[in-house]
Amino acid sequence: MNVRVEGRATISNPNGELADYRVATPSFFETLNIPLTRGRVFTERDAAQTPLVYVVNEAFAHAYSPDGDPVGRRIRLGYEGEWPGEIVGVVGDVKHRSVEAEAFPTVYVCYLQATTLPNFPIMNYVVHTKGDAAALAGSVRRELQAIDPNQVIFYVRPLTGFVSDAVAQRRFNMLLLTLFAALALILSAAGIYGVLTYTVTRRTRELGIRFALGATGADALRLIVGQGMRLVGLGVGIGLLASLALTRLLRGLLYGVSEIDPTTFATVPSLLILVSLIACYLPARRATKVDPMVALRFE
């Protein structure tokens, strides 16, 4: 709905969408644990015979009252401003539209006063329980049908189910990315192991000479592992720079984390280095067991 805020110039939008309009019961905010940050929420005294009151969310407060508290201000809803009322409270933001989108400025009206405002044929009924939510579905249906046997009750399920559906496509995409990343990690470890094994084989005679001149197994271990880890460090460095440059492409696939997440950028390179270290250690350990006499005769 269009919104006009007392003390501000008329706000207009060519799309006519400046604030979400939602009808709620007095217990709605408590049931969903939506925090009250200023003022009050609806009560049973907010009826059709009393002055119209509104509750807004924090996004509304920041958008239309950035320099003060919106509680106590009067607003008008609708294209013609035909529904004047007073803001009596501010509540926390709720992502009504999508779990991924930022909360939109929202105006709540008490359902007891909504008889004179635009209404909708469907109401979402929410029950807060400490037990198994799915097990209460039958009881909820019976209680609601006892109030009005003609009403249609549908889509009864735990709230976690709705949230799960909302991120199902994103979860599937991330699962595919994780599988491909795991496959890439395995292939890279196998590649490092194969290259270093080949390198050790090619340097068998060199290692025999080193052992004959007094080198120890620890020296050979440091030589082979150091050579492999230098290449790994170079690859990880290039990968980090490339990932920083490509983070904008992943922004649309992420939820709940930023595209430059410090934990991710610390954990993934550490895991790569650990796997690479194991892949380097195995052929290096084999090199420490080379018999100098056999190695000197190796062609």
Q: What value does the mean pLDDT take over residues 112-129? A: 82
% the chain with pLDDT above 90: 17
Token digits of residue 117: 């405002």
Assess whether pLDDT exceeds 70 at residue 12: no
Does the global pTM surpass 0.85? no
Task: Give the C-alpha separation, 295 to 103, whole Å.
Answer: 70
Confidence of residue 14 (pLDDT cuts 50, 70, 90): very low
Structure token pair of residue 90? 């501010």
Q: Tell me: the pLDDT tens digits for 132-142?
A: 877 888 888 88
Q: What is the pLDDT of residues 50-92, one digit of tens each?
A: 999 999 999 999 888 867 788 988 988 887 777 889 999 999 9
CB-facing half-sphere around the CA of 86: CA atoms within 13 A: 9
User: 286 with 203: CB under 8 angstroms?
Assistant: no
Residue 42: closest CA among 3, 82, 85: 85
pLDDT at position 179 is: 92
Alpha helices, DSSP H, located in the chain: 28-31, 58-64, 137-147, 159-166, 168-202, 204-212, 217-250, 262-287, 292-296
Of 194, 216, 198, nearest in space to 207 by CA: 216
Higher pLDDT, 204 or 186: 186
274 pLDDT more than 50: yes
* pLDDT recorded at residue 37: 93
- What is the SS3 assignment for 145-175? HHHCCCCCCCCCCCHHHHHHHHCHHHHHHHH
Lowest mean pLDDT, pick from 1-15, 23-37, 63-77, 84-98 = 1-15
Residue extents of the structural domains in the chain: 3-124, 168-296
Question: Do 252 and 245 touch, CB atoms closer than 8 A?
Answer: no
Q: Give me the residue label for tokens 């994103």.
A: 170
Q: What is the pLDDT of residues 205-264, one digit of tens each?
A: 777 777 777 777 788 788 888 888 888 888 888 888 888 777 766 666 666 666 677 787
Task: Indicate the DSSP class of residue 251.
Answer: G
What are the Cα distances from residue 287, in Å, to 78, 131, 214, 223? Answer: 80, 61, 15, 10
Percent of residues, the chain, with pLDDT higher than 70: 88
Which pLDDT value is given to residue 8?
65
Give the pLDDT confidence of 166-201 residue by residue, as tens digits. Answer: 778 878 888 898 899 889 888 888 887 888 777 777
Is-contact 37 55, C-beta < 8 A? no
pLDDT, tens only, 154-165:
888 888 888 888
pLDDT, position 9: 53
Q: In the structure, what pLDDT confidence band is assigned to residue 127 with cuts at 50, 70 and 90?
A: confident
pLDDT tier at 16, thresholds 50, 70, 90: very low
